[in-house]
A and B are shown apart, each in its own frame.
Chain A
Amino acid sequence: MKRIVFSILIIGCGLLEAQPYGSFDDLTAQLDSLTYHLDSLHKNLEDRWLYSKKIRLKGIEDVLKRLENLESVLLWKSSFKYETIKEFKQEIKTTRGTPVFIYHKFGDIIIYASDSDELKVDGVIELVSKSREIAKEYAKEIGIKIEESEDKIKVITLSPVKSLPAVHYQINLKILLPKWSPVVVRNSFGDVEIEGIGERCSVNTRFGKIGLREIKGPIEVANKFGKIELTLPDEVSCNISAMTTFGNIETDLPLKIERDRFILKALGVIEDGRIWIKLNGKNSDIYIRVLK
């Protein structure tokens, strides 16, 4: 009896919700609906005795249909007409060993090492909107700020205080960094690539790929969703500890790989273990290679 009542309720909800999907404007409503149905499926999994296989399959089909409808909205190429591109360029002199902190949210970051003592920041801000006025207004608020103090340099990307769904933007950074400067990078949605730094390198992103190449100092990396690619210099001497959940680890180094349910670890000391390398991925694949 319980099963029949639940089945009727689910089918009823499905019929009521099964309407054609609109544009980006009602995206929130569509996402709410999708999340609601996914939550129902989730609950359905936990109380599976209540539901028949047919009902559960119907639930899956329904969610897949909703996702298919959302695909066009989520992966849609912007129909916003007004695009504003701002460029940012700044160079500052650094003293040897001064750490550089980069706080970023939306966009990619590429960092190259240089032999000079100058820090060069090139930023491209892309902003698109429905109207020219909104685009202009928002463009004023989005930017890049460099803060210099005695013991550190901060590169910060600025976001608008209030947000509208009618505007979206991204800032891509290219940074030329003195190779003796330690670097700390924080990002949310975007890839991070760093090459040739001779000092400590710490990267933490949420959603994006991290690629580190020929870093000679200690490395600390954390990522939530996205692969981590580490290419170490030839004749490296390091102590590696890599861990990922729901991901894979591939390496050409003689590391000891351990698996505990969904956690995969790779540990090992190469040569004298002079520098430490800590990689921590969640839902990430990790690749550790040596440059040949």
Chain B
Amino acid sequence: MRCEEVSENLSFYIDGEIKGKMRKDISIHLKKCERCKKEASDLRLIKAETRSLSPIEPPDWIWFNIKNTLWRQRLFKRVFAIASAACLAIVIVGSLFFIRTSQKRAKTDIAFERLKTLDEAIEECRESLRVNPNARVRKTLYDMYKEQVKTINLIYSEGGEQ
């Protein structure tokens, strides 16, 4: 058996975890090789010393530091999650508001265009009313006025209220 092989398994050998032929081979090697014998002796000494040591009580501040670190990590995660959710909510609400405002604006613009055509129509009806105020002309004029009031009302309800 070579020294490297013995050195690799020496700790297990001392702990009694190696059995059978391999244990026998290492024992034979240790009797012959002074260097490995010395290494085995050092290892036995270290293990014996370790066993004789009494358990050390960690100081209180260690637990405080650990708790503090864990709490900070958790807090950071929570704050990050809340901030992300808030940003997402702001983006969603902002987008919805923008879409709604644009739709309202578009509707209002269309209503303004309609008001222009109704103004022209009313003017034309009133011209005809001077020439021939028959029932048809009067009814048309009335319908135009009604449509105009309806359109203005639509702008009121759709347009930005103060």
Contact = CB atoms under 8 A, between A and B. Distances in A.
B149 A67 contact: yes
B153 A60 contact: yes
Nearest to A106: B132
B131 A163 contact: yes
A168 interface: yes
Contact residues of B: prevailing secondary structure: helix
A261 B107 CA distance: 9
B121 interface: yes
Nearest to B122: A35
A45 interface: yes
Interface in A197-217: 206-207
Contact of B110 (A67, A75, A76, A262): A262
A67 B145 contact: yes
B18 interface: no
A56 B162 CA distance: 11
A213 to B, nearest CB: 22
Contacts of A224: 121
Contacts of B130: 28, 163, 165
Interface string A180-198: 0000000011100000000
Contacts of A158: none
Is the interface on chain B under 10, 10 to 19, 20 to 34, or 35 or more residues?
Answer: 35 or more
Contacts of B42: none
Given A41-B152, A225-B121, A48 B110 contact: no
B145 A70 contact: yes
Given A31-B126, A170-B132, A283-B117, 19 more contacts: A27-B129, A35-B126, A53-B161, A60-B152, A70-B142, A74-B139, A77-B135, A106-B134, A169-B134, A170-B135, A189-B137, A189-B140, A190-B136, A245-B117, A246-B110, A261-B110, A261-B113, A262-B110, A282-B117
| CB-based closest 4 A-B pairs | A168-B134, A74-B142, A74-B138, A163-B131
17 contacts: A24-B133, A28-B130, A38-B148, A60-B149, A60-B153, A64-B149, A75-B139, A76-B138, A106-B128, A106-B134, A107-B136, A163-B132, A188-B128, A189-B128, A189-B134, A225-B143, A262-B113
